[in-house]
Amino acid sequence: MTGHFLEGIGGPLPKHIFVALAAVCANVDKGSGSERRRERGTVMGQRPVWIGVDVGGTKIAAGLVDDQGQLLHSTRSPSEAMAGRHAILERITCVCERMQQTAEDMGAAAQALGIASPGLINYEEGSIRFATSALKDWTGTKVVSALEDRLRLPVFLENDANAAALAESRMGAGLGHSDFLYISIGTGIGGGLILGRALHRGIVGGAGNFGHVAIDRRGPRCYCGSRGCVELYASAKALAAQMASDPQLQHFVSRQKPDRQDSEEERSEVRTLIALADEGNHRARELLAEAGRSIGVAAASTIHVINCGLVVVGGGVCHAGRWLMDPLEETIKHSVSPALAAHIAVKQARHTEHAGVLGAALVSREKLYSAAVMQDQGDD
Ligand SMILES: [Zn+2]
């Protein structure tokens, strides 16, 4: 759960981290109870803001979020994911330096940086335990230490779907729900578990990896080593492949270049699919419904394990709305025990485009404040 920065707690702290923590400590009440942090305050005389960065295969999205969780400013730039880890870290550094300047121009001060990244996170090291080839050479990258050294700011690393789940928990469809399953349907399928209002990350950061819940043990082989994972049936990539091989839909699909593995291309094809469904195309509606049913089967299995009362569906494919969501919800309700079905709600996520940015910023805010409370208690 700790990153490079939190490892310093209890021992000597790097000077820039100590300054950040001391500033946040000034914002911590000495009272008891969970609401130790003042609702509003200033840090070193400036309004505190939090930088969120969402690193993807094609773009780096970044934003500034205030203490109330409102997105104040956002940008988007190419991630240069195929240029390797040094180029990606350089891009993130440039984006964050611009964000720090924008915060200053607003009369605010960036307190910490949250990074949302695809893949399995090593929270102890603040590094990427495993990432797919969509980000070249990203596996093994010590993101937290590299960026803290460059930016002189506390940095926290989170899985992108976990970050989005936290955004829904604090500022979205999961507000007021202590336990829910978040599913992100994009190029791949990700997920996050909020249990007892907190992210459940698992012992090596692998919890909530919903895309690899298997729905057919005789199904096609997945890169994770299993067979029949739901991601192979209902992701944007899977839907784009189904469209390309469907004679009824083929003439609607833009011609793909050979060897193209561009997630933007897959997203645009799914937008075409959704538009066709909206126009009444029966085959487009059936593809989306079948994807919804596949996700519903996997969600029902998960609900039997965690007994949550809510499923939140985000990611670009959730824009399919009822063509996806209705079959998904029906499948869940028909697949779980009646006692559980009576207490399950399915909602579309409130945040899609900025979910990772908002979630990453919220992760950095919560981790820095909780570190400040720990430091404060140590001082008492
Ligand atoms: Zn898999």
- Write the CA distances from 267 to 78, 189, 217, 228, integer angstroms: 16, 13, 28, 22
pLDDT at 380: 64
Question: Ligand 1 centroid vs 214 CA: distance in angstroms?
Answer: 7
User: What secondary structure does DSSP assign to 26-73, as a single string?
Assistant: TTB-SS-SS--B-SS--BTTBEEEEEEEEE-SSEEEEEEEETTS-EEE
Q: Give the H/E segment covering residue 239.
A: helix 236-244
What is the C-alpha separation between 351 and 168, in angstroms, rounded?
7
Distance 68 CA to ligand 1 centre (A): 37
> From CA 137, how far away is CA 227, in angstroms rounded?
26
Domain-by-domain residue ranges, the chain?
Answer: 6-166+355-379, 175-348
**Bridge-partner residues for 185, per DSSP?**
189
Q: How far is the CA of 143 from the centre of ligand 1 (A)?
A: 25
Residue 70's closest CA among 40, 43, 93?
40
Q: Ligand 1 mean position to 229 CA, how many Å?
A: 5
Distance 226 CA to ligand 1 centre (A): 5
Of 202, 208, 217, 129, which is closest to residue 162 (Cα–Cα)? 208
Distance 231 CA to ligand 1 centre (A): 7
Q: Tell me how far the alpha carbon of residue 204 lies from the centroid of ligand 1, in angstroms.
A: 17
Q: Is 59 left (phi over 0), alpha (psi -120 to 50) or beta?
A: beta
6-166+355-379 and 175-348 have identical folds:
yes
pLDDT of residue 374: 81
pTM for the full model?
0.88
- Residue 218 CA to ligand 1 center (angstroms) comes to 13
How far away, in angstroms, is 124 Cα from ligand 1 center? 25
Distance 211 CA to ligand 1 centre (A): 7
How many A from CA of 224 to the centre of ligand 1?
Answer: 4
What distance in angstroms lies between residue 225's CA and the mean position of ligand 1's atoms?
6
Pairing of strands 47-55, 108-117: parallel
The answer to whether 160 and 334 have CB atoms below 8 angstroms apart is no
How many residues are there in the chain? 380
CB neighbours of 97 closer than 8 A, spacing ≥ 6? 151
Give distance in angstroms: CA of 331 to centre of ligand 1: 21
Residues with CB under 5 A from ligand 1 (ion): 212, 222, 224, 226, 229
Q: Which CATH class is domain 175-348?
A: alpha beta
CA pair distance 77, 157, nearest whole angstrom: 19
Residue 160 and residue 59: Cα distance in Å, rounded?
Answer: 13
Phi, psi of 237 (to 5 degrees): -65, -45
| Max intra-chain CA distance, the chain | 71
Dist. CA 303 → ligand 1 center (Å): 19
375 Cα: distance to centroid of ligand 1 (angstroms): 41
Q: How far is the CA of 26 from the centre of ligand 1 (A)?
A: 46
CA of 221 to the centre of ligand 1 (A): 8
How remote is the CA of residue 155 from the centroid of ligand 1, in Å?
Answer: 30
User: Rounded to whole angstroms, how far apart are CA atoms 309 and 303?
Assistant: 8
CA of 308 to the centre of ligand 1 (A): 23
Q: How far is the CA of 271 from the centre of ligand 1 (A)?
A: 25
Question: Number of helices (H) and strands (E), helices first, in the chain?
Answer: 12, 12
Spatial CA neighbour of 192 closest among 345, 302, 318, 37:
302
Domain with residues 6-166+355-379, CATH architecture? 2-Layer Sandwich (3.30)
Q: How far is the CA of 1 from the centre of ligand 1 (A)?
A: 25
The tens place of each residue's pLDDT in the chain, 380 residues long, gives 344 444 434 344 555 565 666 666 555 444 443 333 333 344 456 899 999 999 998 899 999 999 999 999 999 999 888 999 999 999 999 999 999 999 999 999 999 999 999 999 999 999 999 998 889 999 999 999 999 999 999 999 999 999 999 999 999 999 999 999 999 999 999 999 999 999 999 999 999 999 999 999 999 999 999 999 999 999 999 999 999 899 888 876 654 444 444 566 777 889 999 999 999 999 999 999 999 999 999 999 999 999 999 999 999 999 999 999 999 999 999 999 999 999 999 999 999 999 999 999 999 999 999 888 887 777 66
| Ligand 1 centroid – CA 163 distance (Å) | 21
